Structure 1
């Protein structure tokens, strides 16, 4: 099975075989992300590699190939087989699904791109903020001309995302201004003001809600979405995919397979006849996407890839579900995350049917319950079980601790 091949003890031999063809020797490795979808499994690794020029810390990627897939003909990638499974392996930035990473992470190419936008690229520095193999990456770019972000997507998706940014920015939604895009899938975005709301949740003080957004302010951001959003493609909300994520949980953690399925059936049954909605929605609306000022006013909104028509209830449920999941996953965020959930929930429940809000929150939590395994969190099995416990609580209407 490809999942075992890419995450089990033998994965080191696979990575060593790939690195040795380029003159490297693998000294240490660990899995940092797992994305298992049907026949294809994609994994990211953090690795220490000894090269002839010295030791480096590298990000590696590997993805299984479906039986009918042709191996990618991308420089820097290598396809290996154990007789049953074929796997493509690469070293960042040579991701076969994200060719724009080559531009974003190679100084000469990025300098030329920034200069084409009239930006002073002297003193250029880059930092990988996030990376999901074959799906997307975000690179923080610092130079004399200021701080920018390079978002890297599969090439076929980048122009549409640029148009989304233009639509929302021109409507007064506080999204980053897009400077433009490249054919290889790189979008250049201006920096936003403010502090990430998730970081604000780590601050301490006697008033747990100090500096957190008022729920009416949060709703006002969504109210600014233009009617043109309704002309975009409709995306299936997280809450409607609870059965799919329950199956993923069952594969990675068989001991919880039946409980996850039963909970997903409750969610799916409750949403079966629900109106899909005709509201302009963000599609992935939660605290990590919001920037706030010192008073907690939302001054920035990130990641608009999922913007489109849908139900406002799903955006609100996503925000509440992430509060619950963050409180369970991080002791540093727990008290403030729970306080924010208690601050937001009563107001959100007046804007949609409370029973539907509970069902959708539980559905989003089911998607988040795959996270501990995906990012290979220590003791991910127990973390997954705790999230399933919380789904039960939400469906029963029990408040967070």
Structure 2
């Protein structure tokens, strides 16, 4: 099974083969992300490697190949087989799904690109902000001209995301202005003002709601989405994929498979006669996507890849479910996260049917229950079970 092969002890042999082919020696490794989707599993690793030039901390990636898939023919990737499974392994930045990473993480190539966009690249520094193998990465770029961000996507997705940013920015939605895109999948975005709302939630303080957005302000940002959003592709909301995510939970944690399946079935049955909606939606609307000023006003909105037609209830449910998930994952900060949920929920329930909001929140939380395993959180099994406990409590509420 590819999941066991890529996350168990045998993964060391795969990584050692990939590193030694490039001239290094693997000294240590650990799994940092697991993306398990049916026949294909993709994993990221933090690795310590001894190279002829010295020891470095590297990011490695590996993905299983489905039957019939052609192995990528990209320099820096290595395809291996144990007789049953075939696996492609690489070292950042040679991700076969994100060719733009090679540009974004190469000082000379990136400097030339910034210059071609009319930007001052002197004093160039880069930081890898986030990385999901084969799916996306975000690079923070600092130079004399200021700070911008490069979003790295599969090349076929980048122009459409640029158009989304143009549409929303032109309508006055506080999203980053797109400076342009490249054929290999780089989207250059201006920096937004403000502080990430998640950081505000994790900050200590006696007043739990100080500096948190008013729920009417949150709804007001969604109200500014232009009608053109309804012409974009519809994305199936998180809540409607609860059975799919329950199956992923069960595969990673068989002891909870039946409970996850039953909870997801309750969500699916409760939403069965509810339409998918025809509202302009963000599609992944929660605190990590929101930037706020010192007073808590929402001054920025990130990650508009999922923008399209849908139900306002799903956007609001996503925001509430992430409050619950953040409280469960960071008990020290749970009071403030739950205080924000209590602040927002009554207003949200006046916007959309309360029962639909409750069921959709439970469905989104099921999707988030895959997170502890995906990011390999310590004691992820217990964290997953606590998520299911909260979903169960939510579905019992009347």
Give the drift of 1:204.
2.0
Q: In structure 2, how many angstroms separate the alpha carbons of the residues matched to 1:319 and 1:331? A: 18
Q: Are 2:358 and 1:328 aligned?
A: no
Gaps of 5+ in 2: none
Give the drift of 1:292.
0.1
Q: 1:233-382 to 2 correspondence within 5 Å?
A: 233-382=233-382
Are the structure 2 counterparts of residues 199 and 332 from structure 1 closer, same or farther at C-alpha, using a change threshold of 3 Å? farther
Give the drift of 1:207.
1.2
Q: In structure 1, how many angstroms separate the alpha carbons of the residues matched to 2:82 and 2:90? A: 17
Q: Are 2:53 and 1:53 aligned?
A: yes
Give the drift of 1:36.
0.6
Q: In structure 2, how many angstroms separate the alpha carbons of the residues matched to 1:36 and 1:227? A: 35
Q: Are 2:45 and 1:83 aligned?
A: no
Give the drift of 1:331.
2.6
Q: In structure 1, how many angstroms separate the alpha carbons of the residues matched to 2:187 and 2:333? A: 31
Give the drift of 1:397.
2.3
Q: In structure 1, how many angstroms separate the alpha carbons of the residues matched to 2:73 and 2:107? A: 24
> Which position in structure 1 is the counterpart of 2:102?
102
> Which position in structure 2 is the counterpart of 1:392?
392
Q: Are 2:221 and 1:221 aligned?
A: yes
> Which position in structure 1 is the counterpart of 2:201?
201
> Which position in structure 2 is the counterpart of 1:28?
28
What does the per-residue CA deviation read over 1:24-78, in whole Å, with 9 as the maximum and x for residues that have no partner? Answer: 1000000000001111100000000000000000000000001100110001000
SS in 2 for 1:350: helix
Count how many residue pairs are aligned between Structure 1 and Structure 2.
Answer: 398
Q: In structure 2, how many angstroms separate the alpha carbons of the residues matched to 1:300 and 1:282? A: 13
Alignment root-mean-square deviation, CA: 0.7
| TM-score normalised over the length of structure 1 | 0.99
| TM-score normalised over the length of structure 2 | 0.99
Give the drift of 1:206.
2.0
What does the per-residue CA deviation read over 1:324-351, in whole Å, with 9 as the maximum and x for residues that have no partner? Answer: 0000001343111010000000100111
Give the drift of 1:205.
2.0
SS in 2 for 1:41: strand
Moved over 4 A (4+): none
Give the drift of 1:396.
1.9
Q: In structure 1, how many angstroms separate the alpha carbons of the residues matched to 2:336 and 2:350? A: 22
Q: In structure 2, how many angstroms separate the alpha carbons of the residues matched to 1:320 and 1:18? A: 42
Out of 370-379 and 330-339, give the one that drifted further: 330-339
Q: In structure 1, how many angstroms separate the alpha carbons of the residues matched to 2:330 and 2:397? A: 23
Give the drift of 1:389.
0.4
Out of 219-228 and 329-338, give the one that drifted further: 329-338
Q: Are 2:7 and 1:10 aligned?
A: no
Q: In structure 2, how many angstroms separate the alpha carbons of the residues matched to 1:391 and 1:331? A: 17
Q: In structure 2, how many angstroms separate the alpha carbons of the residues matched to 1:332 and 1:193? A: 27
Q: In structure 1, how many angstroms separate the alpha carbons of the residues matched to 2:24 and 2:38? A: 32
Q: In structure 2, how many angstroms separate the alpha carbons of the residues matched to 1:105 and 1:359? A: 42
SS in 2 for 1:210: coil
> Which position in structure 2 is the counterpart of 1:39?
39
Give the drift of 1:203.
1.8
Q: In structure 1, how many angstroms separate the alpha carbons of the residues matched to 2:37 and 2:369? A: 16
Q: In structure 2, how many angstroms separate the alpha carbons of the residues matched to 1:331 and 1:124? A: 38
SS in 2 for 1:275: coil
What does the per-residue CA deviation read over 1:4-39, in whole Å, with 9 as the maximum and x for residues that have no partner? Answer: 110001101110011111111000000000001111
